[in-house]
Structure 1
Amino acid sequence: MEFRSIERAPGAFQQPVTAGQIHAMCRRAFGASVSAVSAVELGNGMYNSTYRVDLGSGLPVILRVAPEPARQFRIERELMRNEHASVPYLAPIAPLMPRTLAIDFTHEIIGRDYLFQTMLDGVPAPDGLGAYPRPEWASFFRRMGTIARDIHAVRGRRFGPVNGPAFTTWSEAVIASLDDTAADLDDVGLDATDVRELAAAADRHRAVLDEITEPRLLHGDLWTVNVMIEPGAPEPTISGVFDCDRTSWGDPESDWTIFMAGRRPGTERDAFWETYGSRSSTPGAAWRALLYRARHLAAVRLERHRLGNSEAVPDTYDDLRDVLALLTA
């Protein structure tokens, strides 16, 4: 078997698997007579270890292998299982998603969750968008707005990650996520004082958070890095959506997609709102938007540390301090 793995430092978060393990995973998933012809690790993702595997007949498949349980943060625990649980609720965008071919959570072959999926056609959006003049990107963001709207239209019964834990109120879910983020920051030796101040502010304003009474499905990570576009199309056209492992039930305004769409007003991203719809402008919505922004900044701090981007970690303290001042004014 041709086997290509990305060279990483011994202490890097993403750890490879061996050629022998891939052979064993393929045999379990597809039968004892199936052997992989090649396995090439892909470098686009930043959490799971992902391989394009050629089984010798038909199209290649994608193998995703989760980090070892001990390496997972509280706010990122068992994301692959969360994605698996969310698939039925992502039915509105099913034609855009890869199909799960096999999945194994037993840890009998390797002490990590893994799954095989169909390989999506297209080009990763970060690579393909540059082929189009920026004004033409508006069509891409209009389609992104439609996808986000369709996901957010799905209703749930409880708040929190799709695979649990579940919470009766939105405030409980938000505060629990902030407490977990603070504990994760403690574990890696980063100061979490501002995140605990954020959790305290959320606790004082539970009534504002609990104006959200109906859980809606949130993708959690829908943006350009998790989207494929059709190669050679007259305009940038979304052909696939992947890595749906951070799904949860909550306030659509808190979704990562909404945060990213609103970051650069006056650019082609404004086309997102043409299809998604307008945002709420009530005082409660304005306060919650600040809290959600701060919560994203706290999660970004943790991710930057995980990725070894230590130079960018201090920026999150400055940004979060500014948001906290507005929240507590």
Structure 2
Amino acid sequence: MHEHAGRERCMELTTIERSAGAFQKPVGAADLQAICHRAFGRRARVVSAVELGGGMYNNTFRVAVTGQDRPVVVRVAPEPGLQFRSERQLMRNEYASIPWLSVIAPLMPRVIATDWSHEVIGRDWMIQTLLDGSPAAGPQGLSAYPRPAWRTFFRQMGTIAGRVHGVRGPHFGPVAGPGYATWRQAVIASLEDIATDLDAEGLNAADMRQVVAVAMQEPALDDITEPRLLAGDLWIVNVMVAEGAPEPTISGVLDLDRTLWGDPAADWTIRMALAKPGTERDAFWDSDGYGPLDRSPAAVRRSLIYQARHLGAVRLEHHRLGNADGVRSTYDDMAAVLTELY
């Protein structure tokens, strides 16, 4: 972290130091002041701003502004030219999802202001209320409790995911579009976008294109005929827990910008809940959590295609963060998936 006085009336600004080539580009004191002028009026002054870690896509700040009873959260999207085809305009997708996420509204931050005009800083931005609690992935979160108590947390995660997955939608694909008439079309489009992004970054996308070929012929995808809401990125890093609670209690959910309509089994949350069998995560599947997962032969075939889609997205993420070992590991994992698919 780097602390300095901003140019706008000695604003106290604390930022995260990054290399010049990092994906997340700086947001300065003048930018934050301009955003708050647009949202709260010319009399509003940013007193302090602290850039929050944990997120790897948007720049996120906790900002104290005159005239506001408590700090707000300012999120600034990446520059348009830096966004992958498979991740384009995620903040706009999140905003379009809010009415559909009313089933978990008490857990979510409220939107105070948004701006897609690029008149202020040339990037999309959003201001939200600050959620109470501690990050579940932080030192005062899940790790502050004994491991047996974690089952309570994962059971709650299952309940929340189940509520989201119960919402029915108008089309397949990202909530903000483009929409598709069939789940097969939406899956193929997503896989092709990831492959195109890999090509653009100079990474080998041959295995992703093999998965596209499988998806084009896979009849099990056509069994999914009703679009359901997928949270897209709901897991520990995007959850808050109540401070001082006797057991880990989820008090907030944030950053649901990868929502889409489709098969609930394709959600990132499902992948993560399945990732460590035989651990506390198994409570996710309790009857008073998410409930049992469909493990029919058709569902297993679909899950392999979903796993390949996740691996492609993870490969892009590792590449963006400069994690060469992580990128390489996805090729081995993808080869194992393709062995099962063929």
The answer to whether TM tops 0.5 is yes
1:142-182 Cα deviation digits (max 9, x unpaired)? 10000000000000121000000000000000000000000
Q: Give identity over the alignment, percent.
A: 61
Alpha-carbon distance in structure 2 between the residues aligned to 1:273 and 1:282: 16
1:320 is aligned to 334
Structure 1 residue aligned with 2:81, among 65, 70, 86? 70
1:251 aligned onto 2:251:
no
1:297 aligned onto 2:311:
yes
Structure 2 residue aligned with 1:28, among 23, 38, 41? 38
Q: Which amino acid aligns with 2:132?
A: D
1:309 is aligned to 323
For the residue of structure 1 that corresponds to 2:13, the secondary structure is strand
Query: Any unmatched runs of 5+ in structure 1?
Result: none
1:286 aligned onto 2:300:
yes
2:109 is aligned to 98
Alpha-carbon distance in structure 1 between the residues aligned to 2:28 and 2:309: 37
1:39 is aligned to 49
Once the two structures are superposed, the pairs formed by residues 192-203 of structure 1 within 5 Å of their partners are 192-203=205-216
Alpha-carbon distance in structure 2 between the residues aligned to 1:294 and 1:264: 18
For the residue of structure 2 that corresponds to 1:37, the secondary structure is strand
Alpha-carbon distance in structure 1 between the residues aligned to 2:133 and 2:83: 30
TM-score normalised by structure 1 residue count:
0.98
Alpha-carbon distance in structure 1 between the residues aligned to 2:17 and 2:321: 15
1:140 is aligned to 153
Alpha-carbon distance in structure 1 between the residues aligned to 2:234 and 2:102: 15
Structure 1 residue aligned with 2:176, among 159, 163, 177? 163
Q: Which amino acid aligns with 2:158?
A: G
Give the Å deviation of 1:244: 0.8
Q: Which amino acid aligns with 1:147?
A: I
Alpha-carbon distance in structure 2 between the residues aligned to 1:287 and 1:246: 23
Alpha-carbon distance in structure 2 between the residues aligned to 1:230 and 1:146: 17
Mean Cα deviation higher: 122-131 or 62-71: 122-131
1:210-236 Cα deviation digits (max 9, x unpaired)? 100000000000000000001111000
For the residue of structure 1 that corresponds to 2:137, the secondary structure is helix
1:243-277 Cα deviation digits (max 9, x unpaired)? 01000000000000000001111100000001101
2:8 is aligned to none
Q: Which amino acid aligns with 1:103?
A: T
2:6 is aligned to none
1:270 is aligned to 282
For the residue of structure 2 that corresponds to 1:64, the secondary structure is strand
Alpha-carbon distance in structure 2 between the residues aligned to 1:175 and 1:214: 17
Query: Any unmatched runs of 5+ in structure 2?
Result: 1-10
Moved over 3 A (4+): none
For the residue of structure 2 that corresponds to 1:52, the secondary structure is strand
2:223 is aligned to 211
Alpha-carbon distance in structure 1 between the residues aligned to 2:313 and 2:31: 32
1:86 aligned onto 2:97:
yes
Q: Which amino acid aligns with 1:325?
A: T
